[in-house]
Structure 1
Amino acid sequence: MINKLKFIFLSIFGFVFFLVPFTINDESKIMLSHIIDFVKNNILDEFLAFTAASAWIVLIATVVFIFYTSQSKFINSMFKASAFNVVLRIVGSFLYLMVLNKWFESYDFASAILDPNTGGLMAGADGLLTTLYITFFVGILALPLLTHFGIVEFVGILLGPIVVKLFRVPGYSMIDAIASFVGDGTIGIVVTDRQYQRGYYNRREAYIIATSFSVVGIAFAAAVAEELGFSSIFPIFYGSILLVTLVIAFIMARLPLKKFEPTYYEGKTPKSVEIPEDKTILEHAFDSAVEQANETKIIPTIIDAFKNIVHIYVGFLPIIMAIGTISLIIAEYTPFFDIISAPLVPMYELIGYSTEVAMQMAPASVAGFADMYLPALFISGATSEAARFFIGVLAFTQLVFMSETGMILVKTKIGLNFWDVVKVFLFRTIISIPILIIITNVLAVMNVISF
């Protein structure tokens, strides 16, 4: 009975925490988003001081551990890194502290970094990193409620036959997808990586899930829709994102993917689903969930969660800061994105957009690789509603952006490198564009949006 209650109450609490919106102060958001707002509105200065201290620790420890080796395997695993990662951690930590403290503000060379559209977009009170620091701390601490106490087994077994047929991945993946859609794409990727390491997915399945289902959350989509003027048709806007995402997932699941073989993480026994003859699928789903809840010990799980938080604070966030800031500087101060997107201009002209609008759409189509918000910034001034809708949806269906999800994908155990992430971005862009041409034209014919 205790294990049944453990499964039911802890899993329900995890489901509600991550996936169910609550209205607080007239704002309907999931609990994680409300906690982020609470921290930003009430203890932001203290939290920024905490993140600054974290950046100092990473900066100093990364330098020290170039020459020093600890007797603790855990500490070594945190601060020992490849030469490339060492450089990125040092650069990222320094840039974070520089933006936070406005170092060198009076010098001309610092203006590109401290610009509100570059380093200022990444760090500070309204910075992406501030949200990520809070999201990862709270989210990973609460994540075991969603992954360790049976709900994954329950949902996975129930939805398994449908999901396997459509996307060739286990039903467990629906938890990852829901966490991304309603919560945040970064959380979805972390869930997938953890489940891969626990034997729930093989490498091929983990790749498909992480690169197909981990879409940026509905809350951020709502913010972008508002920026682009589509709040009134948000269900259509987000529905288009989901539709394109599912089509791409269906296609992705049928690609050869030779690099990502169906092998399991080192030493892990695959979690297979076999329905006993004397049980219904619902009974087996419930019994499997209760068994998983029984096997999970709360204290070791909490300790493991804190270790994961430290790992992300040290190994993920400084790198995101470095790559994100550099990418944003390139986007803001060079014609790089205009140059590489030039071939897209005649294509957009061919499908009915004016030359002026096509020249806005082209760089916006590739700028999402640097940061998810860049396409919206690039296209927000376009007079064409169809162009704004097209680019707004495309930015989400591309999935990968190096200021956040791209670097997190590279840091997972699934085995993606930078070029794999580039390939994912290009593949998703190429597949998304023709689908979105159809969607925007249909909506235009229906007078939902105008050219």
Structure 2
Amino acid sequence: MTKQRYYWGITKFVLGTAIGVGLVLIPFSFANGVDTILFHYLKLFIAQYHFAVQTLVTILVVLSALLALIDWLIPTTILHKQRLLKKLFSTTPFYVINRLLGAVVALMCYLKVGPLFIISPDTGTAMLDLATQLSVLVPLMLLFQTFILEFGAMEFLSELIGFIVKPLFKVSELCAVNIISAWVGPGNAAIIGTQELFKKGYFTVREAATIGSQFATSSIGWVVLVCSVLGVMPYFGLIFLGITLVGVIIGAIGVRIPPISRYPSTYVDGSTTRPIKITREGNKWHTALVNASNRANTVSIKNFTTKIDNMTFYVFWLSPIIIIWGTAALALSLYTPLLAWISLPVEWILRLFGVADAKVTASAIMSGFADNYLPVILGKGIGSASSRIILAMMSIEQLIFMSEIATLLKSCNIVQKFSHIVIIFLERTFLALPFVIWYVQLLF
């Protein structure tokens, strides 16, 4: 690589990363509170055009259900042949039914027709409002995160900390970049990317399972969203630091206990020798800069346009599921004692540590298995700021939730059995909870 190309790459790396950090990560004070630049102005847009946006989202949710049903009943249409359409609308009967139910709930809440336990402002209407907000915030967050994820920051950091991940998480140094990108980037993209690299021979079965089940969070932008909705944005820096520290601890434990510890250290061809050879030149700092420069030099408009897949995937695939599962979880929480029963062990732990609003906080935490935003919905009315901070951190640390990550882990065969997914969720919940409480009580 010529010096001119090297320095041009470094310039793109620094400027691109700075734009991403400035737009997506750094909180600023605005008239209505503390928020990031991107989220502040998107929320103003949603507030001003809420009815129009909600109407559009309802139409898209209904369209998603109808097209999925058509593809299921008539698999010879263009929906099954065109790449993006197939990704968006070709799915299993289970998820077709989920989309149809989500569309029915969305229409009932939009038209204000149906039983109260579904269309109540505390259940279905709350989830339709949430879907309206997230259908704008999340796709654009995924787009602008490109500046952070694809301008060399991940390659730069992974080279500098690769030697740490090997003993901590029992993986090769090559996993560092995927661990970092999975931690700060969209979890769905991280899991799909990990599966692709596994098939190419970069990772073992256990390494792929480790990255997917221990580090594929909902992204740093999602942490910003959670903190913003829960009203704890002024503490974002400390919250994300705590999430990372606790995540390292429970990740290190998680890879050393079943089920992950029992996964084989073999590559895609069944061998124990990596088929991909990696060479490095110079010291770590030089290599980190060269890798960052190389990655930045590959950036083009295509890096942004390819995000259309994940942006549309969120709206068409996940919005109906969030609406139906969220409504079901909220209805069960508000109209039945089921969620309270399930969350009793968590409530006992919270009470043991003297956490305020233990009952509501526990129910919110355990609702995370259905969808990672349910804890935020159930807990945003909690009076105690420290309890809301605990909830914000736990909603990220749990990592496994049925509406997306759990489904991807199983469908990509990164986690071998559904029972393993349930076990990992419970492990992460009960391992993380004491550390999160200690951290919050120490610093807040």
Please point out which of 114, 117, 135 is paired with 1:112.
117
Distance (Å, rounded) in 1 between the aligned partners of 2:36 and 2:266: 35
Q: Is the 8 A contact 1:193 1:414 kept in 2?
A: no
Residue identity opposite 1:429 in structure 2: T
Query: Normalising by the residue count of structure 2, what TM-score does the alignment of the two structures yield?
Result: 0.75
Alignment-derived partner of residue 34 in structure 1: 40
2:69 is aligned with 1:63: yes
Corresponding position of 1:123? 128
- Match of residue 243, structure 1, among 242, 245, 258: 245
User: Structure 1 residues 238 and 44 mapped into 2: Cα distance closer, same or farther (>3 Å)?
Assistant: same
Q: Which residue of the partner structure matches residue 92 of structure 2?
A: 82
Task: Pick from 118, 131, 134 the counterpart of residue 132 of structure 1.
Answer: 134
Mapped to 2, the partners of 1:415 and 1:431 lie a distance apart of 19
Partner of residue 159 from structure 2, selected from 157, 160, 165 = 157
Q: Aligned to 2:19, which of 1, 7, 16?
A: 16
TM-score, normalised by the number of residues in structure 1? 0.74
SS at the partner of 1:274?
coil
Measured in 1, the distance between the counterparts of 2:138 and 2:236 equals 27
What amino acid does structure 2 have at the position aligned with 1:33? F
Using the alignment, how far apart are the partners of 1:137 and 1:94 within structure 2?
Answer: 23
- Distance 1:215-1:2 versus aligned 2 partners, 3 A rule: same
Matches of residues 279-298 of structure 1 in structure 2 within 5 Å? 279-294=282-297, 296=298, 298=300
Deviation by residue 1:325-363 (Cα, 9 ceiling, x = unmatched): 2222212211102223445666666x4769x97656654
Between the aligned partners of 2:353 and 2:290, the Cα distance in structure 1 is 57
Residue 426 of structure 2 aligns to a residue whose secondary structure is: helix
Distance 1:116 1:37, change over 3 A: same
Deviation, structure 1 residue 143 = 4.3
The answer on whether the counterparts of 2:123 and 2:327 sit within 8 Å (CA) in structure 1 is yes
Q: CA deviation at 1:251?
A: 1.0
Pick from 262, 275, 284 the counterpart of residue 280 of structure 2. Answer: 275
Equivalent positions of 1:313-392 (< 5 A) are 313-342=315-344, 351=352, 363-370=363-370, 372=372
Q: Which structure 1 residue ranges, 5 or more long, are not aligned?
A: 181-186
Partner of 2:107: 97
Give per-residue Cα distances to partners, 1:62-106, cap 9 Å, x unaligned. 12212242353413343221111211122223323332x2341xx
User: Partner letter of residue 283 of structure 2?
Assistant: T
1:425-436 superposed matches below 5 A: 425-435=425-435
Q: For 1:297 and 1:375, locate their aligned partners in 2 and report how far apart those are by CA, in whole Å.
A: 37
Q: Is the 8 A contact 1:11 1:145 kept in 2?
A: no
- State the superposition RMSD in angstroms: 4.2
Q: Which has the higher contact order (CA 8 A, sep 6+)?
A: 2
The unaligned stretches of length 5 or more in structure 2 are none
Superimposed CA distance per residue, residues 105-156 of structure 1 (whole angstroms, 9 cap, x where no aligned partner): xx4x2x11212222222212xx1x2333223422333444444443332222
**Number of residue pairs matched?**
420
Return the letter of the residue paired with 2:327.
T
Partners of 2:322 and 2:371 within 8 A in 1: no
The percentage of counterpart residues that share the same residue type is 23
**CA distance in structure 1 between the aligned counterparts of 2:309 and 2:386, rounded to whole angstroms:** 46
Q: Distance in 2 between matches of 1:367 and 1:439?
A: 22
**Distance in 1, Cα, partners of 2:229 & 2:26:** 19
Amino acid paired to 1:337: L
Q: Structure 2 vs 1, CA of residues 308 and 403 (structure 1 numbering), >3 Å: closer, same or farther? A: closer
| Counterpart-to-counterpart distance in 1, 2:322 and 2:251 | 26
1:280 and 1:154 mapped to 2: Cα distance? 13
Question: Could you say which residue in structure 1 is the equivalent of 2:189?
Answer: 190
Map 1:163-174 to 2 at 5 A: 163-169=165-171, 170-173=175-178
User: Deviation at 1:248?
Assistant: 0.5
> Is the contact made by 1:328 and 1:371 (CA closer than 8 Å) also made in structure 2?
no
Query: Partners in 2 of 1:141 and 1:385 — Cα distance?
Result: 31
Offset of 1:172 from its aligned partner? 1.0
Contact 1:328 1:370 in 2 (8 A): no
Mapped partners of 1:359, 1:140: distance in 2:
34
